[in-house]
């Protein structure tokens, strides 16, 4: 499991690193061709895309994940995959037609300002095509075809970036140019993926198999809606209590904090299908504990680095009207990490107890919404960041407690707690220092070294693993 995980996670990481890297590269473009208000409208459109992707196809792709890998019969595998594909295509086709018919009524409501009807229609096209692309991507994961996943992801990323830059910046098409680029990228990736999956998606449909998958995945929809509320209620309430400009500032801070998600990409892409494949093996829980420990080290390292240097990064990337987004990064980096760390709590999925996810995520959403409601009027966008962090912390805790009941993993909780608390102290203290830029860089670098030493002393990162890493790098360089 570990060997396959390392190989697959490296392959999954490549397109994600390039995608996030290009997204970071495009931030200066966004802030030069869009006003904070337009950037806020784009953010609200993507918020809407998030809830659509969670609900329209009833998360049937997650049903494929659970039943496809465990099914030994190739013909039944084909029925699971094909039924999910045709169901997804039908759902998104109906959605796009309905949205286009009611554009005049919905555009202003969803995008937060009037006069963006044509932009809204492009956004709907993007949501439809991207929903199909999401299914294709996931199918490569469930089939453990990590290289094909990487290629279609890279194709989507480069076409999106290239087309967006050409249209939005080169031809000065602004928001419309960005969305056309997003449509083109998702369409190209989906087309190539469908060609490679032509033996997996056939003109076959089995209602019994579809009902079996939906029985597993439908509870995930309700849990997903709660997750969506936790993810995006901050933007909605900022728009309500403050302004669309503040949504834009918060969105920039969120984009920068999302760089922390890079530490997740290899783990996220490879871990879930491997857990469902190998969880019955005796040493699988110990291997999962080791993967989580190493993940946590890199996650805390990224958290500290972004927190220490956020002001410098924003000065480099964006124009002055967007500098205000820096204040939320310290809260959003750990929030984004916690939001994705459910993959390290696989017991609920293994036990097929997905109904628990509804209660966990509904509780987290209610907590998040309540905190946003009370904190934003008092603390502004900082209140939104703090509410999001506390909400996701509660959700991850509940995930892990329940998961351990169904599938126990021997985590070293005491060392983990000490490492997290020490990192939180550093993240609060270092940015508070009133010193010159040069001194700040020196102190930040020293703090990262101290964190590394403390992590080794706590066995969060072991000396033997450092040596193995060095040997792997040397072997790679000598090839």
- Residue 129 is predicted with a pLDDT of 96
- Residue 244 is predicted with a pLDDT of 82
Q: Which residues contact 465 (CB under 8 A, 6 or more apart)?
A: 294
Q: Which residues contact 298 (CB under 8 A, 6 or more apart)?
A: 263
- Residue 433 is predicted with a pLDDT of 84
- Residue 336 is predicted with a pLDDT of 87
272/220 Cα distance (integer angstroms): 15
The pLDDT tens digits of the residues spanning 74-116 come to: 899 999 999 999 999 999 999 999 999 999 989 988 988 888 8
Total residues found in the chain within this entry? 479
Cβ pair 286, 410 in contact under 8 A: yes
- Where exactly are the structural domains of the chain? 2-411, 413-479
Residue 59: other Cβ atoms inside 10 A: 24
Backbone angles phi, psi at 202, to 5 degrees: -120, 175
Range name among 207-216, 243-252, 312-321 with the lowest pLDDT average: 312-321
Range name among 243-257, 372-386, 439-453 with the lowest pLDDT average: 243-257
What mean pLDDT comes out for the span 201-228? Answer: 86
Residue 66: pLDDT band by 50, 70, 90 thresholds?
confident
Q: What is the pTM of this model?
A: 0.67
396/157 Cα distance (integer angstroms): 30
Residue 367: pLDDT band by 50, 70, 90 thresholds?
very high
The pLDDT tens digits of the residues spanning 154-189 come to: 899 899 989 988 998 888 888 899 999 999 999 999
Question: Which DSSP letter does residue 467 get?
Answer: H
**Burial letters 197-210, b for 16+ CB under 10 A, else e:** beebbeeeeeeebb
The pLDDT tens digits of the residues spanning 27-57 come to: 676 777 777 788 788 888 988 998 898 889 9
- C-alpha closest to that of 235 among 144, 150, 161, 328: 328
**Burial letters 3-25, b for 16+ CB under 10 A, else e:** eebeebbebbbbbbebbbebbbe
End-to-end CA distance of the chain: 25
* Cα distances (angstroms) measured from residue 463 to each of 5, 36, 452, 468: 21, 47, 11, 9
Q: Which residues contact 329 (CB under 8 A, 6 or more apart)?
A: 253, 256, 257, 306, 307, 310, 385
82/75 Cα distance (integer angstroms): 11
Torsion of CA 340, 345, 351, 357, to 10 degrees: -50
- Residue 117 is predicted with a pLDDT of 92
Cβ pair 334, 196 in contact under 8 A: no
Flag whether pLDDT at 270 surpasses 70. Answer: no
């Amino acid at each position: 499991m570990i060997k396959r995980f390392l190989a697959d996670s490296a392959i999954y990481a490549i397109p994600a690193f390039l995608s996030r890297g290009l997204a970071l590269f495009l931030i200066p473009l966004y802030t030069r061709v869009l006003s904070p208000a337009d950037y806020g409208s784009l953010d609200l459109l993507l918020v809407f895309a998030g809830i659509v992707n969670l609900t329209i196809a009833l998360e049937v792709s997650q049903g494929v994940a659970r039943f496809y890998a465990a099914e030994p019969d190739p013909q039944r595998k084909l029925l699971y995959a094909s039924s999910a594909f045709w169901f997804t295509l039908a759902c998104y086709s109906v959605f796009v037609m309905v949205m286009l018919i009611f554009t005049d009524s919905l555009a202003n409501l969803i995008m937060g300002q009037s006069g963006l009807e044509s932009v809204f229609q492009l956004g709907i096209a993007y949501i439809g095509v991207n929903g199909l692309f999401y299914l294709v991507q996931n199918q490569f994961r469930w089939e453990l075809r990590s290289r094909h996943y990487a290629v279609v992801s890279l194709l989507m990323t480069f076409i999106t970036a290239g087309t967006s830059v050409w249209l939005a910046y080169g031809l000065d098409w602004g928001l419309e140019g960005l969305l056309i680029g997003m449509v083109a990228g998702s369409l190209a990736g989906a087309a190539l993926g469908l060609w490679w999956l032509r033996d997996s998606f056939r003109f076959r449909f089995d209602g019994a198999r579809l009902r079996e998958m939906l029985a597993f995945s439908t509870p995930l929809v309700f849990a997903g809606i709660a997750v969506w509320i936790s993810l995006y209620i901050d933007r909605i309430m900022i728009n309500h209590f403050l302004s669309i400009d503040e949504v834009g500032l918060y969105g920039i801070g969120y984009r920068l904090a999302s760089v922390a998600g890079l530490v997740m990409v290899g783990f996220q892409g490879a871990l879930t299908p491997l857990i469902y494949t190998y969880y019955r093996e005796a040493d699988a829980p110990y291997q999962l504990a080791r993967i989580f420990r190493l993940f946590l080290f890199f996650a805390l390292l990224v958290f500290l680095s972004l927190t220490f240097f956020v002001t410098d990064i924003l000065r480099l990337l964006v124009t002055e009207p967007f500098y205000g987004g820096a204040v939320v990064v310290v809260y959003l980096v750990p929030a984004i990490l916690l939001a994705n760390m459910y993959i390290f709590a696989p017991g609920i999925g293994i036990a097929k107890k997905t109904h628990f996810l509804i209660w966990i995520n509904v509780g987290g959403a209610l907590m998040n919404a309540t905190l946003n409601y009370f904190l934003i009027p008092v603390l502004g966008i900082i209140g939104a960041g703090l509410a999001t962090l506390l909400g996701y912390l509660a959700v991850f805790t509940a995930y892990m407690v329940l998961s351990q009941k169904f599938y126990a993993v021997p985590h070293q909780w005491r060392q983990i707690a000490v490492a997290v608390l020490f990192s939180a102290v550093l993240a609060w203290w270092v940015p508070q220092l009133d010193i010159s830029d040069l001194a700040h860089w020196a102190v930040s670098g020293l703090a990262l070294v101290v964190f590394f030493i403390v992590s080794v002393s706590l066995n969060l990162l072991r000396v033997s693993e450092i040596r193995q890493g060095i040997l792997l790098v040397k072997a790679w360089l000598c090839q």
